[in-house]
Protein backbone atom coordinates (compact mmCIF):
# COMPACT_ATOMS: atom_id res chain seq x y z
CA UNK A 1 0.00 0.00 0.00
CA UNK A 2 1.13 3.65 -0.02
CA UNK A 3 4.15 4.94 1.88
CA UNK A 4 2.00 6.84 4.37
CA UNK A 5 0.03 3.78 5.45
CA UNK A 6 0.37 2.53 8.97
CA UNK A 7 1.73 -0.84 9.93
CA UNK A 8 -0.95 -3.51 9.46
CA UNK A 9 -2.85 -4.41 12.60
CA UNK A 10 -1.90 -7.69 14.19
CA UNK A 11 -4.72 -10.22 14.64
CA UNK A 12 -6.50 -9.87 17.97
CA UNK A 13 -6.20 -13.28 19.59
CA UNK A 14 -9.42 -12.65 21.51
CA UNK A 15 -11.34 -12.63 18.22
CA UNK A 16 -10.71 -16.37 18.10
CA UNK A 17 -13.58 -18.07 20.01
CA UNK A 18 -11.14 -20.60 21.49
CA UNK A 19 -8.98 -17.90 23.07
CA UNK A 20 -11.67 -15.28 23.62
CA UNK A 21 -14.45 -17.47 25.01
CA UNK A 22 -13.65 -21.12 25.65
CA UNK A 23 -10.30 -20.90 27.44
CA UNK A 24 -11.23 -17.94 29.73
CA UNK A 25 -14.52 -19.68 30.64
CA UNK A 26 -12.79 -22.95 31.53
CA UNK A 27 -10.18 -21.12 33.60
CA UNK A 28 -12.89 -19.19 35.46
CA UNK A 29 -14.99 -22.28 36.19
CA UNK A 30 -11.89 -24.21 37.26
CA UNK A 31 -10.76 -21.40 39.54
CA UNK A 32 -14.16 -21.00 41.21
CA UNK A 33 -14.46 -24.77 41.68
CA UNK A 34 -11.03 -24.97 43.29
CA UNK A 35 -11.70 -22.03 45.63
CA UNK A 36 -15.07 -23.49 46.62
CA UNK A 37 -13.48 -26.87 47.35
CA UNK A 38 -10.63 -25.39 49.43
CA UNK A 39 -12.73 -22.85 51.35
CA UNK A 40 -16.06 -24.66 51.59
CA UNK A 41 -17.69 -21.33 50.74
CA UNK A 42 -20.61 -22.24 48.49
CA UNK A 43 -21.50 -18.60 47.89
CA UNK A 44 -18.61 -18.44 45.45
CA UNK A 45 -20.74 -20.49 43.08
CA UNK A 46 -23.10 -17.51 42.78
CA UNK A 47 -20.55 -15.97 40.42
CA UNK A 48 -21.30 -18.64 37.82
CA UNK A 49 -24.55 -16.98 36.60
CA UNK A 50 -22.47 -13.84 35.97
CA UNK A 51 -20.07 -15.92 33.92
CA UNK A 52 -22.84 -17.43 31.83
CA UNK A 53 -24.40 -14.00 31.22
CA UNK A 54 -21.04 -12.61 30.15
CA UNK A 55 -20.44 -15.71 28.05
CA UNK A 56 -23.79 -15.27 26.29
CA UNK A 57 -22.95 -11.65 25.45
CA UNK A 58 -19.52 -12.66 24.19
CA UNK A 59 -20.96 -15.44 22.01
CA UNK A 60 -23.53 -13.06 20.55
CA UNK A 61 -20.87 -10.45 19.77
CA UNK A 62 -18.63 -13.10 18.19
CA UNK A 63 -21.54 -14.30 16.06
CA UNK A 64 -22.20 -10.74 14.90
CA UNK A 65 -18.55 -10.27 13.92
CA UNK A 66 -17.84 -13.59 12.27
CA UNK A 67 -19.13 -12.50 8.82
CA UNK A 68 -18.64 -9.25 6.96
CA UNK A 69 -20.64 -9.98 3.80
CA UNK A 70 -24.17 -11.26 3.31
CA UNK A 71 -25.95 -11.97 0.00
CA UNK A 72 -29.24 -10.51 1.21
CA UNK A 73 -28.33 -7.41 3.22
CA UNK A 74 -25.89 -4.51 3.17
CA UNK A 75 -22.93 -4.21 5.55
CA UNK A 76 -20.86 -1.08 6.16
CA UNK A 77 -17.12 -1.72 6.00
CA UNK A 78 -14.30 0.71 6.70
CA UNK A 79 -11.70 1.85 4.20
CA UNK A 80 -8.26 1.02 5.55
CA UNK A 81 -6.01 2.37 2.82
CA UNK A 82 -5.87 3.66 -0.75
CA UNK A 83 -2.98 3.23 -3.19
CA UNK A 84 -2.71 4.82 -6.64
CA UNK A 85 -1.44 2.20 -9.11
CA UNK A 86 -1.79 4.18 -12.36
CA UNK A 87 -2.90 7.59 -13.59
CA UNK A 88 -6.57 6.65 -13.28
CA UNK A 89 -6.68 3.50 -11.14
CA UNK A 90 -6.34 2.91 -7.42
CA UNK A 91 -6.33 -0.04 -5.03
CA UNK A 92 -8.78 0.26 -2.13
CA UNK A 93 -8.29 -1.91 0.94
CA UNK A 94 -11.32 -2.44 3.19
CA UNK A 95 -11.30 -3.93 6.68
CA UNK A 96 -13.30 -7.04 7.47
CA UNK A 97 -15.10 -7.35 10.80
CA UNK A 98 -12.17 -9.15 12.44
CA UNK A 99 -8.51 -9.67 11.61
CA UNK A 100 -9.11 -13.43 11.52
CA UNK A 101 -11.75 -13.37 8.77
CA UNK A 102 -10.93 -13.91 5.09
CA UNK A 103 -13.12 -13.06 2.12
CA UNK A 104 -13.58 -16.53 0.66
CA UNK A 105 -15.97 -16.08 -2.26
CA UNK A 106 -16.30 -18.28 -5.37
CA UNK A 107 -13.90 -17.63 -8.23
CA UNK A 108 -15.27 -15.15 -10.74
CA UNK A 109 -17.92 -13.79 -8.38
CA UNK A 110 -18.22 -10.11 -7.51
CA UNK A 111 -19.59 -8.03 -4.66
CA UNK A 112 -22.11 -5.20 -4.83
CA UNK A 113 -21.21 -1.71 -3.61
CA UNK A 114 -23.84 0.87 -2.60
CA UNK A 115 -23.17 4.58 -2.17
CA UNK A 116 -25.44 7.62 -2.10
CA UNK A 117 -24.53 10.55 -4.35
CA UNK A 118 -26.73 13.65 -4.29
CA UNK A 119 -29.27 11.63 -2.30
CA UNK A 120 -29.49 9.04 -5.07
CA UNK A 121 -28.63 5.38 -4.57
CA UNK A 122 -25.83 4.14 -6.83
CA UNK A 123 -24.90 0.43 -7.03
CA UNK A 124 -21.86 -0.99 -8.79
CA UNK A 125 -20.22 -4.43 -8.91
CA UNK A 126 -16.53 -5.15 -8.35
CA UNK A 127 -14.34 -8.24 -8.12
CA UNK A 128 -12.06 -8.42 -5.07
CA UNK A 129 -8.51 -9.14 -6.23
CA UNK A 130 -7.02 -10.17 -2.88
CA UNK A 131 -6.34 -13.82 -2.16
CA UNK A 132 -8.79 -15.84 -0.10
CA UNK A 133 -5.78 -16.56 2.13
CA UNK A 134 -5.51 -12.88 3.11
CA UNK A 135 -7.09 -12.18 6.49
CA UNK A 136 -8.60 -9.06 7.96
CA UNK A 137 -9.13 -7.22 4.68
CA UNK A 138 -9.93 -7.38 0.97
CA UNK A 139 -8.78 -5.27 -1.99
CA UNK A 140 -10.71 -3.66 -4.84
CA UNK A 141 -9.03 -2.32 -7.97
CA UNK A 142 -11.13 0.54 -9.33
CA UNK A 143 -10.53 2.59 -12.46
CA UNK A 144 -11.80 6.18 -12.57
CA UNK A 145 -13.67 7.42 -15.62
CA UNK A 146 -14.42 10.99 -16.64
CA UNK A 147 -18.16 10.32 -16.35
CA UNK A 148 -17.91 7.72 -13.58
CA UNK A 149 -19.87 8.95 -10.58
CA UNK A 150 -19.05 6.03 -8.29
CA UNK A 151 -15.37 5.82 -9.26
CA UNK A 152 -15.04 9.55 -8.49
CA UNK A 153 -16.78 8.92 -5.17
CA UNK A 154 -14.22 6.24 -4.33
CA UNK A 155 -11.36 8.56 -5.29
CA UNK A 156 -12.58 11.01 -2.64
CA UNK A 157 -12.71 8.46 0.18
CA UNK A 158 -10.35 8.74 3.14
CA UNK A 159 -9.21 5.99 5.54
CA UNK A 160 -11.91 5.53 8.13
CA UNK A 161 -14.78 6.24 5.71
CA UNK A 162 -17.30 3.43 5.25
CA UNK A 163 -18.97 1.92 2.21
CA UNK A 164 -21.85 -0.56 2.06
CA UNK A 165 -21.26 -4.01 0.54
CA UNK A 166 -23.36 -7.07 -0.28
CA UNK A 167 -22.49 -10.41 -1.82
CA UNK A 168 -21.13 -12.58 -3.22
CA UNK A 169 -22.97 -12.37 -6.54
CA UNK A 170 -22.14 -14.23 -9.72
CA UNK A 171 -22.81 -17.04 -12.19
CA UNK A 172 -19.47 -18.59 -13.19
CA UNK A 173 -19.02 -22.21 -12.13
CA UNK A 174 -15.44 -23.28 -11.57
CA UNK A 175 -13.94 -26.27 -9.79
CA UNK A 176 -10.27 -27.29 -9.58
CA UNK A 177 -9.16 -29.30 -12.62
CA UNK A 178 -12.62 -29.01 -14.20
CA UNK A 179 -10.79 -28.02 -17.39
CA UNK A 180 -7.37 -29.03 -18.63
CA UNK A 181 -6.70 -25.56 -20.01
CA UNK A 182 -8.20 -22.13 -19.50
CA UNK A 183 -7.77 -19.36 -22.07
CA UNK A 184 -8.42 -15.80 -20.90
CA UNK A 185 -8.70 -12.50 -22.77
CA UNK A 186 -8.89 -9.34 -20.65
CA UNK A 187 -8.84 -5.65 -21.47
CA UNK A 188 -8.16 -2.71 -19.16
CA UNK A 189 -9.89 -2.98 -15.78
CA UNK A 190 -11.42 -6.25 -16.99
CA UNK A 191 -8.35 -7.81 -15.41
CA UNK A 192 -10.00 -7.75 -11.95
CA UNK A 193 -12.12 -10.94 -12.23
CA UNK A 194 -9.13 -12.55 -13.95
CA UNK A 195 -6.86 -11.76 -11.00
CA UNK A 196 -9.48 -13.25 -8.73
CA UNK A 197 -9.52 -16.42 -10.85
CA UNK A 198 -5.72 -16.60 -10.86
CA UNK A 199 -5.53 -16.21 -7.09
CA UNK A 200 -8.11 -18.96 -6.72
CA UNK A 201 -6.32 -21.41 -9.02
CA UNK A 202 -2.65 -20.88 -8.19
CA UNK A 203 -3.23 -21.11 -4.44
CA UNK A 204 -4.56 -24.65 -4.80
CA UNK A 205 -1.54 -26.94 -5.39
CA UNK A 206 -3.78 -29.75 -6.63
CA UNK A 207 -5.24 -27.55 -9.40
CA UNK A 208 -3.08 -28.20 -12.46
CA UNK A 209 -5.20 -26.25 -14.94
CA UNK A 210 -3.02 -24.63 -17.62
CA UNK A 211 -3.69 -20.88 -17.76
CA UNK A 212 -3.02 -18.63 -20.77
CA UNK A 213 -3.83 -14.91 -20.58
CA UNK A 214 -3.91 -12.21 -23.25
CA UNK A 215 -4.11 -8.79 -21.56
CA UNK A 216 -4.82 -5.78 -23.80
CA UNK A 217 -4.36 -2.07 -22.98
CA UNK A 218 -3.97 1.27 -24.73
CA UNK A 219 -0.42 1.97 -23.45
CA UNK A 220 2.20 0.26 -21.31
CA UNK A 221 1.30 2.55 -18.41
CA UNK A 222 -2.27 1.28 -18.51
CA UNK A 223 -1.22 -2.31 -17.74
CA UNK A 224 -2.56 -2.83 -14.22
CA UNK A 225 -0.52 -4.85 -11.71
CA UNK A 226 1.95 -5.98 -14.37
CA UNK A 227 4.61 -6.78 -11.76
CA UNK A 228 2.20 -9.10 -9.95
CA UNK A 229 1.18 -10.84 -13.18
CA UNK A 230 4.82 -11.29 -14.24
CA UNK A 231 5.68 -12.68 -10.82
CA UNK A 232 2.83 -15.18 -11.09
CA UNK A 233 4.00 -16.34 -14.51
CA UNK A 234 7.55 -16.82 -13.21
CA UNK A 235 6.46 -18.60 -10.05
CA UNK A 236 3.78 -20.86 -11.51
CA UNK A 237 4.88 -22.82 -14.60
CA UNK A 238 1.31 -23.56 -15.70
CA UNK A 239 0.49 -19.83 -16.13
CA UNK A 240 1.63 -17.60 -18.97
CA UNK A 241 0.70 -14.00 -19.80
CA UNK A 242 0.96 -12.06 -23.08
CA UNK A 243 0.48 -8.32 -23.33
CA UNK A 244 -1.03 -6.42 -26.26
CA UNK A 245 -0.63 -2.62 -26.40
CA UNK A 246 -2.56 -0.45 -28.83
CA UNK A 247 -0.36 2.67 -28.68
CA UNK A 248 3.09 1.49 -27.60
CA UNK A 249 6.23 3.47 -26.95
CA UNK A 250 9.30 2.95 -29.11
CA UNK A 251 10.79 0.68 -26.46
CA UNK A 252 7.81 -1.71 -26.37
CA UNK A 253 8.77 -5.23 -27.48
CA UNK A 254 5.45 -7.02 -27.10
CA UNK A 255 2.42 -7.40 -29.36
CA UNK A 256 0.92 -4.25 -30.85
CA UNK A 257 -2.62 -3.23 -31.79
CA UNK A 258 -5.93 -4.79 -30.81
CA UNK A 259 -6.45 -8.41 -29.80
CA UNK A 260 -6.45 -10.45 -33.00
CA UNK A 261 -7.60 -13.88 -34.04
CA UNK A 262 -3.97 -14.73 -34.82
CA UNK A 263 -2.91 -13.87 -31.26
CA UNK A 264 -5.71 -15.99 -29.82
CA UNK A 265 -4.68 -18.90 -32.04
CA UNK A 266 -1.03 -18.47 -31.06
CA UNK A 267 -1.30 -17.92 -27.30
CA UNK A 268 -4.53 -19.55 -26.13
CA UNK A 269 -5.53 -23.22 -25.95
CA UNK A 270 -7.32 -24.55 -29.00
CA UNK A 271 -10.97 -25.49 -28.83
CA UNK A 272 -11.56 -28.77 -27.03
CA UNK A 273 -14.31 -30.23 -24.89
CA UNK A 274 -12.07 -29.97 -21.82
CA UNK A 275 -10.90 -26.38 -22.48
CA UNK A 276 -12.66 -23.11 -21.57
CA UNK A 277 -12.40 -19.48 -22.65
CA UNK A 278 -13.08 -16.50 -20.36
CA UNK A 279 -13.50 -12.94 -21.66
CA UNK A 280 -13.67 -9.65 -19.75
CA UNK A 281 -13.16 -6.10 -20.95
CA UNK A 282 -14.82 -3.23 -22.82
CA UNK A 283 -17.99 -4.26 -24.66
CA UNK A 284 -16.50 -3.71 -28.13
CA UNK A 285 -13.52 -5.90 -27.28
CA UNK A 286 -15.73 -8.64 -25.86
CA UNK A 287 -17.85 -8.76 -29.03
CA UNK A 288 -14.75 -8.88 -31.21
CA UNK A 289 -13.14 -11.66 -29.16
CA UNK A 290 -16.36 -13.71 -29.14
CA UNK A 291 -16.48 -13.39 -32.95
CA UNK A 292 -12.88 -14.60 -33.25
CA UNK A 293 -13.59 -17.44 -30.82
CA UNK A 294 -16.49 -18.67 -32.95
CA UNK A 295 -14.27 -18.56 -36.04
CA UNK A 296 -11.70 -20.65 -34.13
CA UNK A 297 -14.31 -23.30 -33.33
CA UNK A 298 -15.38 -22.31 -29.81
CA UNK A 299 -19.03 -22.90 -28.96
CA UNK A 300 -20.77 -19.77 -27.71
CA UNK A 301 -24.16 -19.91 -25.99
CA UNK A 302 -26.86 -18.11 -27.98
CA UNK A 303 -28.70 -17.15 -24.78
CA UNK A 304 -27.58 -15.33 -21.65
CA UNK A 305 -24.35 -16.51 -20.04
CA UNK A 306 -24.65 -19.65 -17.95
CA UNK A 307 -22.17 -20.66 -15.29
CA UNK A 308 -20.97 -23.75 -17.15
CA UNK A 309 -20.66 -22.16 -20.61
CA UNK A 310 -17.48 -23.11 -22.40
CA UNK A 311 -17.09 -19.49 -23.52
CA UNK A 312 -17.96 -17.26 -20.56
CA UNK A 313 -18.17 -13.47 -20.84
CA UNK A 314 -18.07 -11.62 -17.52
The response to whether 226 counts as a known ligand-binding position is: no
The response to whether 126 counts as a known ligand-binding position is: yes
In the sheet with 239-245, reading across from the earlier edge strand, the strands are 255-256, 239-245, 210-217, 181-187, 275-280, 311-313
Burial of 88 (0-12, 13-18, 19+ CB in 10 A): middle
Count of other CB atoms within 10 angstroms of residue 120: 8
The response to whether 158 counts as a known ligand-binding position is: no
The response to whether 125 counts as a known ligand-binding position is: no
The response to whether 151 counts as a known ligand-binding position is: yes
CB 124, CB 149: distance < 8 Å: no
The response to whether 143 counts as a known ligand-binding position is: yes
Annotated binding site: 124, 126, 141, 143, 149-151, 192
Which segments are annotated as binding site for FAD?
Answer: 124, 126, 141, 143, 149-151, 192
Amino acid sequence: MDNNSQEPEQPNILDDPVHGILIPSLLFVGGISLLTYLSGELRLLLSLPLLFTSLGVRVYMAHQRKRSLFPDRWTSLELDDQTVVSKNTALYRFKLKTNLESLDIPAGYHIAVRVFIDDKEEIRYYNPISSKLDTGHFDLLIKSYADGKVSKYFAGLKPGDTVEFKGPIGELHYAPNSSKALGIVAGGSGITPVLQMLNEIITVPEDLTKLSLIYANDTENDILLKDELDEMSEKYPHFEVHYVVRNPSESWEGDVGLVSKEQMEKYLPKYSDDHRLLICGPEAMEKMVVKYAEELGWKQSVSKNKGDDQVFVF
